[in-house]
Amino acid sequence: MLETTKLNQTPTEGSRSWADQVTLQVPQELQMDEVVLVVLGTSYEDKLLVDMADLSRVIQGGPWFISSYFFTIDNDTYCTVFKLCNGKDLQFTLKIVRTFAENEARVLISQILHGLAYLDGREERIIHYDLKLANILLVDGVVKISDFGLCKVMEVGSESLELTSPGAGTIWYVPPECLVGGANSQISTKVDVWSAGVVFYELLFGRVPFGFGAGKSRDIIRKEIIDNALHFPTTPEISLEVKPSSSAPMNGFAQQAESMSEGMAKTVMSRFEPGRVLIYTELANEFAVFDRCSR
């Protein structure tokens, strides 16, 4: 389990002690900020350590992520220092507002999709694999995608990788292909496309599309995600642009939707992974354009 503490005093250039055990060189650009220190422990393979260090560098490059820095404390202990964000996560915010207005939800999902596009645009693509409201912070109106603890880094030039942990992640946001599993099952960054669709649905209606309701077992939720049709509540009322043309199960729409209007059903939450068209940036821009036109 990760051990986390907050460095309450302002870090200065040079070393900073933590609990009389750890000494770090805090990056100069963070010297006027509070930071969060996450001690990762000792039992990590070399490949994973390389991925973690690489990930820290990658997410510094986009405004949709919390800046982080990877450190070796000694020969067998590692940590990450994060810039502290004072914003609330979307799960907390949704409990207060109950639902987001459609134009507000579109602004948020547009930013999320741009962040996913950034991760997908690398030579070594990154699958977040645990995208959900609780892992999305809102800081001064800007989305910050956090918690890359389950992320998967793909090989250079690869379009997919083997699913080694079927069912991992937060089940309400997990796509069907990750729940079915099977020998040599492959996944891609389209895992995050599905999760983004669940997030958007939840922002609009205040509930998840599958597995909603207290007391449902993991097996029941899994079956709903794999088998059930996607239905839209009658309230709050949303524009037809967001709804699919049919409530039938989404059995793999291979073609891109003619417009963003059917994008959520046809390109974001297509039942089968091959039909989940990966158009992060284009779809994000469609959301942003709609919002500007609807004001």
Active site residues: 130
What does the alpha-carbon distance between residue 95 and residue 134 come to, in Å, rounded to a whole number?
Answer: 11
Q: What residues have CB less than 8 Å from 287, skipping those under 6 apart?
A: 106, 107, 109, 110, 113, 260
Residue 272, SS3 per DSSP: coil
In three-state form (DSSP H/G/I as H, E/B as E, the rest C), the secondary structure along 192-231 is HHHHHHHHHHHHHHCCCCCCCCCCCCHHHHHHHHHHCCCC
| C-alpha distances out from residue 58 to 114, 193, 217, 231, 294, Å | 14, 20, 37, 37, 34
Query: Which of 225, 256, 226, 230 has its CA nearest to residue 243?
Result: 230
What does the alpha-carbon distance between residue 285 and residue 114 come to, in Å, rounded to a whole number?
Answer: 8
Angle subtended at Cα 59 by Cα 53 and Cα 61, rounded to the nearest 5 degrees: 115
Question: Helices 280-294 and 102-120 meet at what angle, rounded to 10?
Answer: 160
Question: Which amino acid is present at 287?
Answer: F
